[in-house]
């Protein structure tokens, strides 16, 4: 093609047809520009295809993470609900009319379980890769917006649970400086120590410390349950939305 153009130019010059040569030169430039634009468009199209291919791989990985996280939450949530219900039932027993110091002593000494649960180590590698590789912005809305909202909200709720856990652990550490627990094998300190600790208790002090401890446990397990339920519900919705997005691509 270039050889043909060169031959035409040379013929025009020999024939002194400068006006036509000028028009031809302009036309040749236009053709070159159009060729460059087409090449750029093809390159952009190829790059877009490569990007979308990477996005699909990343979304499949994200979906896998969400499925695993949903299973983890489903195993963890019943335990959290049990702890929450136990704590509320013990608080209700102490608060109801007719409760006396023996009620408080029985619950604090034998029934209250100080255990807390640790945060789930969620699978976030796929989401981090989407961000680090800049692929998240290549996903169309509303899926992109929903992914961002989901992980932002999870991080916020997770931070609340982490702070509540630290506060509760501090309360437990302070409580055990004075009192013992007998509700679990993990906290069984033996009959001698247990009897000495509880032989002469300041009931007003015990009531204040126990109330504070059970309040913090209420906050902790309420926030933990909210975080888990948010994660489970919205993970399922996000999985469905990812499936629909991938099927449409």
> Rounded mean pLDDT of the chain?
83
Per-position DSSP letters for 166-229, written without gaps between them: HHHHHHHHHHTTT----SSGGG---HHHHHHHHSS--HHHHHHHHHHHHHHHHHHHHHHHHHHH
Domain annotation covers residue 16: no
The predicted model gives 82-87 an average pLDDT of 93
* Domain membership flag for residue 26: no
The Cα–Cα gap between 184 and 234 comes to 34
Per the structure, how many domains does the chain have? 1
Whether residue 138 has pLDDT greater than 70: yes
Note whether residue 38 is domain-resident: no
% of the chain exceeding 90 in pLDDT:
57
The pLDDT of 27-36, averaged and rounded, is 60
Is residue 49 one of the residues assigned to a domain? no
48 found inside a domain? no
Question: Is the residue at 15 inside a domain?
Answer: no
For residue 21, what pLDDT is reported?
A: 46
Is 13 a member of any domain? Answer: no
Per-residue pLDDT tens for 176-230? Answer: 888 887 656 665 666 777 788 888 899 999 999 999 999 999 999 999 999 999 9
Range of the domain at 237: 58-248
pTM of the shown model:
0.78
| For the ranges 5-9, 173-177, 226-230, the one whose mean pLDDT is highest | 226-230
Q: Please state which of the ranges 15-19, 199-203, 229-233 shows the lowest mean pLDDT.
A: 15-19
pLDDT tens, position by position, 57-69 = 999 999 999 999 9
For residue 160, being part of any structural domain is answered with yes
């Amino acid at each position: 093609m270039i050889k043909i153009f060169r031959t035409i130019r040379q013929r025009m010059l020999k024939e002194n047809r400068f006006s036509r040569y000028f028009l031809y030169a302009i036309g040749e430039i236009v053709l070159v520009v159009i060729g460059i634009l087409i090449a750029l468009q093809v390159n952009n199209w190829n790059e877009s295809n490569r990007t979308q291919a990477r996005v699909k791989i990343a979304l499949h990985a994200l979906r896998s993470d969400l499925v695993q996280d949903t299973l983890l939450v489903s195993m963890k949530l019943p335990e959290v609900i049990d702890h929450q219900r136990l704590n509320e039932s013990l608080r209700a027993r102490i608060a109801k009319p007719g409760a006396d110091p023996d009620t408080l002593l029985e619950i604090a000494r034998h029934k209250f379980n100080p255990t807390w649960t640790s945060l789930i180590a969620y699978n976030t590698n796929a989401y981090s890769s989407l961000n680090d590789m800049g692929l998240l912005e290549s996903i169309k809305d509303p899926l992109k917006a929903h992914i961002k909202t989901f992980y932002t909200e999870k991080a916020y709720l997770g931070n609340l649970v982490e702070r509540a856990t630290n506060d509760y652990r501090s309360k437990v550490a302070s409580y055990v400086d004075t009192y013992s627990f007998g509700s679990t094998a993990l906290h069984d300190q033996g009959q001698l120590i247990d009897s000495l600790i509880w032989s002469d208790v300041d009931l007003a002090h015990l009531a204040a410390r126990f109330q504070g401890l059970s309040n913090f446990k209420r906050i902790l397990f309420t926030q933990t349950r909210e975080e888990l339920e948010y994660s489970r519900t919205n993970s399922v919705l996000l999985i469905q939305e990812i499936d629909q997005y991938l099927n449409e691509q």
